[in-house]
Chain A
Amino acid sequence: MRHLRAWLRRIAGIIPRQRQEQDFSDELASHLQMHVDDNLRSGMTPEQARREAHLKLGGLEHTRQAHRERRTIPFAETLLQDIRFALRQLRRSPGFTITAILMLALGIGACVAIFAFVDSALLKPLPYADPNSLVDVAERGAMLPRSNLSYLDYEDWKRLNTVFSSLDAYSGSGFLYRTSSGVEPVFATRVTAGFFRTLGVRPILGRDFYAGEDETNAAPTVLLAYSTWMNRFGGRAGVVGQTISLDNTPTTIIGVLPKDFHFAPRGGAEFWATTHARTPCEKRRSCHNLFGVGRLKDGVSIKTAFAEMATIAKQLEVQYPGSNQDQGAALAPLSELIIRDIRPILLVLLCGSALLMMIACLNVASLLLVRSEGRRHEFAVRGALGATPRRLIRQFATEAALLVTCGAMFGLSAAYGCMQAMLHLIPARRIANMPYLQSMGITPHVLAFAAAITLLAMAIFSIAPVLRLPITGLREALNDGARGSAGTVWRRFGSSLVVLELTIAVILLVAAGLLGKSFYRLLHVDLSFEPSKLSTLYISIPSSTYKKDEDVIIVTRKILDRVSALPGVTSVAVTSVLPTSGNGNTDWIRVIGHPFHGEHNEVNERDVSVDYFKTIKASLVRGRIFNEQEDRTRPRVAIINKAFADKYFPGEDPIGKKYGNGDLGPDSIKEVIGIVDNIRESGLDEEVWPAEYKPYNQDSDTFFALIVRTSGDEKSLLPALNTAVHQVDPGIGTTDPQSMEQRIGNSQTAYLHRSSAWLVGAFATFALLLSVIGLYGVVAYSVSQRTREIGVRMALGAARSSVYQLILKEAGRLTITGILGGVICSVASASLIKKLLFGTRSWDPATLAAVVFVLSLAALLASYLPARRAASINPIEALRTE
């Protein structure tokens, strides 16, 4: 307590107060006066009395110093002095200060912002209990390494396995949710009853599904996502027990999920219902619509689990050869499923930002070195006047710490701004797929990271100038003539920094070039249809109103008629799945007359209307397109794509041939009537699969997409489409209106490619700028140091062109070394970025050549300016000043 009080008063004493100093001087004066008085009284002469009193005190100044040191904390006081001095120094050269702080802010900001993404996506554990023991459980199909589970398989897997303490399943779903203003299609997930218990997630309000609530006889119940509770129900606690209408079925809300709960595979799901109402698909073993989540028993590895599930799958293959042949098991950690796509991108970005930070640090370090050169004399004088080397080093450290702290503060705020901006730039649909990003921010992790790189930078900057300080050879430094030689050393040191910077810049530029090129390739991938001027809208027909397939077909026709009457619409069609959505929604086929051993011949299955190919401008290669009269009463027909023809009818003419399901059920037999181009049904970066197109008249569905070609603006048509559909029946749900080009541009793969290309591009641009500035700095400094030499050369008759040559040669050597190093490094590190590339080799000669060209040009410019200054030196003046 006493000591604390004393310390507090000493800390307060750091702020110097004239009064305290004066007060103590007075006290000492009075002390001496009393002593002198006493001495005089004892008979000394005034001279003796004064001498004796001073002697006894032990020196006036010494006492003052001891008192002062006790009054404050000496270290803190000198630190404050150092800081004040450093601030003065930095203010004296604002150009240097601002440049250094900006560069540091840029480097630190980029690093911290990217790290925040890494933290939220890769480091933060998923919001489930013990997320490491959760496993994504799926089947392995012949073509899809991870394909859906069928419900009956799931039940067998759950019953037979001994490796999971629980195994549950989920399935994507949507409902028509009735609100006061009509119906709205909502994104939902159907889960088995134990799903949330397996994840270890408890509702914050109400209850979880009880075991058996997913049985077919259970009453329909639903859990709300937190955001749904907030946005649709105002966060009222009374919501539990309320009944809502989903797909015209009264459903009871039983609880609300926690705020931080997210499940990326079904990101954006607003309602979580059970699988109690089995879909027709869930009654057939050959129909796959679920994915599983299992929790491993203690001590069971994923490898063991996989081995057992594979064995079970094998048993089922034997038991149900018709549906299960070639259907294996696919297991992976759940976290792997969630972050697989984004991890390589984030790692590349993190490397990129680290390289940028390195360039920024190198630049600032070289600036500091130049300054320390300029201040050799000052430090020599300070040393000669008695400053200890430690004190001088502290001075540098203080300056570095001030710079870095300022840089870090700006960088941190810039990073915060960037994060917010980037989060807002990410479309809502993409965020739904990456829900973990929502928790991104300046978390303790991020702060610790920022602190670590700040400290690292501080350490580098305090050490760098010290290495070059005249601590030992003070006398030589005081001697003016030593400056020339010091300059040479710096030139060598600074040059190697610049070579390093150029190397890094090449690496980043090459990476940006490769990513940019693969993004271009991705967007210009062969679509085999014309995506411009197409508006699209998903439509959901309420099956409670339109019970029979015929009803659905009739209402679909009505929609088509109504929409085609809209102004500007030239053609309109429906399809069960829009192009570029991705491979999936497949059919297993068997060609009549071809050998068959139960294998799964997977083809994309699309139900389209007559004008589909005309609307998207896909070309018919052979045969004909079906007509409106070909409905359920007529023999089934199909149009196949070229990939289908090549794979299943090699060397044959497919037109007129028939194929069906594996069991060749009479309903499934279709005749091939035409072949179309390989319309890109797959995602942009996926391979093209065989596909079949069937008339919607023969196989209708309640959920499909409307696709409209217009002569006007395709985006402004979207609201009109919506209205037109609701004019047919306000009970029809519409969702996700987008133009086809928007859909392609915003697709997950395009989005990830675009954002990584842009971000690395930005890093590379800054790197180019910084390294060129660094090169300019080194060459300019070298010119200023060699003014005298150049003056002598010119006085002796050297031509201006030879001076140009002298300087440009030096710069050229640095540039070539840097670029060469960079090219070697980027070729060596190309495998890192390989995963992110599409249709581009990881070492692409064109990209390398372009980078070398751009960088050489920039370097030439950066060295031309100082070279011109060197060439314009007036020899007489140069010799006079030195």
Chain B
Amino acid sequence: MGDKTDVWQGTLALMILKTLEAMGSLHGYGIARRIEQTSGDLIALNYGTLYPALLRLEQEGSIAAEWGISDNNRRAKFYTLTRVGRRQIQHETRSWEQTTAILARFLNPTEEAS
């Protein structure tokens, strides 16, 4: 159980960070919608799980939060990337690429043989 959520939380964190990198400043609801869109609606995100992840990133100093006004004139808490966050994106992207590359070798072993 714990392992699964850890992996999930790890990926979710990266998704949040990448979303914020692309969109600049965004509120929690916006981030959730954006993740769903980007994934081509393949992820059915339970929006509630987003908030502990956001809190964690905030505690780690990767993102900063501030109350603001949304496009539709609603008060909302906006999240933005910090310098620490940008570094974390680089770091985590690299480790994800590594992981997927390794996995790819297992999934397509023929390439290895040739």
Q: Looking at the complex, which one of A2, A5, A31, A67 makes contact with B55 (CB distance below 8 Å)? A: A67
* Per-residue interface assignment for chain A, residues 93 to 113, with 1 indicating a CB less than 8 Å from any chain B CB and 0 otherwise: 000000000000000000000
Answer whether residue B49 sits at the interface, using C-beta atoms and an 8 A cutoff. yes
Q: Is the CB of B56 within 8 A of A6?
A: yes
Q: Mark B17-32, 1 if CB is under 8 A from A, else 0.
A: 0000000000111100
Q: Which of A54-62, A693-701, A859-867 contacts B (4 or more CB under 8 A)?
A: A54-62
Q: Let me know if A67 and B75 touch, CB within 8 A.
A: no
Query: Are A34's CB and B60's CB within 8 A?
Result: no
Residues of A within 8 A of B75 (CB): 26, 30
Q: Considering the complex, which residues of chain B in the window 51-107 have a beta carbon less than 8 Å from any beta carbon of chain A?
A: 51-52, 55-56, 59-62, 70, 72, 74-77, 84, 88
Whole-angstrom CA separation of A57 from B49 in the bound complex: 8
A63-87 interface (Cβ within 8 A of B): 63, 66-67, 69-71
CA gap between A799 and B47 in the complex, in Å: 77
**In the complex, how many residue pairs between chain A and chain B have their CB atoms under 8 Å apart?**
74
Contacts of A35 in B (CB 8 A): 29, 47
Give the complex CA separation of A2 and B75 in angstroms.
Answer: 30
CB interface residues, B 31-47, toward A, < 8 Å: 33, 46-47
Q: How far is the CA of A352 from the CA of B55 in the complex (A)?
A: 57
Interface flag for A10 (CB, 8 Å): yes
Given contacts A2-B62, A56-B46, contact A34 B52 (CB under 8 A): no
Q: In the complex, are the beta carbons of B49 and A31 less than 8 A apart?
A: no
Q: How large is the interface on A (under 10, 10 to 19, 20 to 34, 35 or more residues)?
A: 20 to 34
A56 touches B51 (CB 8 A): no
In this complex, which of B29, B60, B84 has the most chain A Cβ atoms within 10 angstroms of its Cβ?
B29
Find the A residue at minimum CB distance from B55: A70
* A3 contacts partner chain B, Cβ-Cβ < 8 Å: yes
Interface centre among B33, B56, B59, B72 (most CB of A within 10 A): B59
A2: B residues at CB distance < 8 A: 60-62, 84, 88
Which one, A10, A56, A62, contacts B59 given CB within 8 A?
A10
Expressed in whole angstroms, the minimum distance between the Cβ of A472 and any Cβ of chain B is 28
Output the nearest chain A residue to B84 by Cβ-Cβ distance: A2
Contact at A56–B61, with CB atoms within 8 Å?
Answer: no
B49 in contact with A58 (CB, 8 Å): yes
Find chain B residues with CB under 8 A from A63 CB: 48, 51
Cβ–Cβ < 8 Å partners of B70 in chain A: 30, 34
Bound CA span A228–B74, Å: 84
B48 touches A62 (CB 8 A): yes
The answer to whether A66 and B76 touch across the interface, beta carbons within 8 angstroms, is no
Interface size for B (C-beta < 8 A) is 25
Looking at the assembled complex, report how far the CB atom of A52 sits from the nearest CB atom of chain B, in whole angstroms. 11
CB-CB < 8 A to A493: which residues of B? Answer: none
Taking a contact as CB atoms closer than 8 A, the residue among B48, B60, B74 that contacts A30 in the complex is: B74
How many Å lie between the Cα of A3 and that of B61 in the bound state?
A: 9
B28 CB to closest chain A CB, in angstroms? 6
- The answer to whether A66 touches B61, judged by C-beta atoms less than 8 angstroms apart, is no
Complex: A6 Cα to B63 Cα, angstroms: 12
B56 and A31 within 8 A (CB): no
* Contact partners of A26 in chain B: CB under 8 A: 75, 77
Q: Is A89's beta carbon under 8 Å from chain B?
A: no
Q: How far is the CA of A31 from the CA of B77 in the complex (A)?
A: 9
**Shortest beta-carbon distance from B64 to chain A in Å:** 13
Contacts of B29 in A (CB 8 A): 30-31, 34-35
Whether B77 pairs with A27 at a CB distance below 8 angstroms is yes
Q: In chain A, what residue has the closest Cβ to B88?
A: A2
On whether A31 and B59 interact (CB within 8 A), knowing A2-B84, A37-B72, the answer reads: no
Cβ-based interface call for A647 (8 A)? no
Q: How far is the CA of A34 from the CA of B75 in the complex (A)?
A: 9
Residue A596 at the chain B interface, CB threshold 8 Å: no
Closest to A71 in B: B55
Complex contacts, B48 vs chain A, CB 8 Å: 57-59, 62-63, 66
A313 to chain B, nearest CB (A): 77
Roughly how many angstroms separate A10 CA and B59 CA in the complex, as a whole number? Answer: 8
Cβ-defined contact, B47 with A30, below 8 A: no
Assess whether A37 is in contact with B51, with CB atoms less than 8 Å apart: no
A27 cross-chain contacts in B, Cβ below 8 A: 28, 51, 76-77
What is the bound-complex CA distance between A2 and B60, given in angstroms? 5
Complex CA gap A57/B70 in Å reads 19
By a CB distance below 8 angstroms, the chain B residues around A233 are none
B51 pairs with A24, CB closer than 8 A: yes
Interface hits, A1-43 → B, CB 8 Å:
2-3, 5-6, 9-10, 23-24, 26-28, 30-31, 33-35, 37-38
Contacts of A57 on B, CB cut-off 8 Å? Answer: 46-48
- B residues near A5, Cβ cutoff 8 Å: 59-61
Residues of B contacting A6 in the complex (Cβ-Cβ under 8 angstroms): 56, 59-60
Find the A residue at minimum CB distance from B75. A30
Most chain A beta-carbon contacts within 10 A, residue among B30, B47, B61: B47
What residues of A have a CB within 8 angstroms of the CB of B62 in the complex?
2
In the bound complex, residues from chain A placing their C-beta under 8 Å from that of B30 are 34
CB <8 Å contact, A37 and B74: yes
Q: Give Cα A33–Cα B84 distance, bound, in whole angstroms.
A: 31
A17 to B88, CA, bound (A): 29
Q: Does A31 lie within 8 Å of B72, measured CB to CB?
A: no
CB-based contact B28/A31 at 8 Å: yes
B27 touches A34 (CB 8 A): yes
| Chain A, Cβ-Cβ closest to B65 | A27
Residues of B within 8 A of A (CB): 27-30, 33, 46-49, 51-52, 55-56, 59-62, 70, 72, 74-77, 84, 88
Please name the 4 residue pairs, one residue from A and one from B, whose CB atoms are nearest each other, closest first: A63-B48, A58-B48, A58-B46, A6-B59
Excluding A2-B61, A35-B29, 20 further A-B contacts by CB distance (< 8 Å) are A2-B62, A5-B60, A5-B61, A6-B60, A23-B77, A26-B77, A27-B77, A30-B74, A30-B75, A31-B76, A34-B27, A34-B30, A34-B74, A56-B46, A57-B46, A58-B48, A59-B48, A62-B48, A67-B51, A69-B52
Q: What are 24 inter-chain pairs, A to B, with CB distance below 8 A?
A: A2-B61, A5-B60, A5-B61, A23-B77, A27-B77, A28-B51, A30-B27, A30-B76, A33-B74, A34-B27, A34-B76, A35-B29, A37-B72, A37-B74, A56-B46, A56-B47, A57-B46, A57-B48, A58-B47, A58-B48, A66-B49, A66-B51, A67-B55, A70-B56
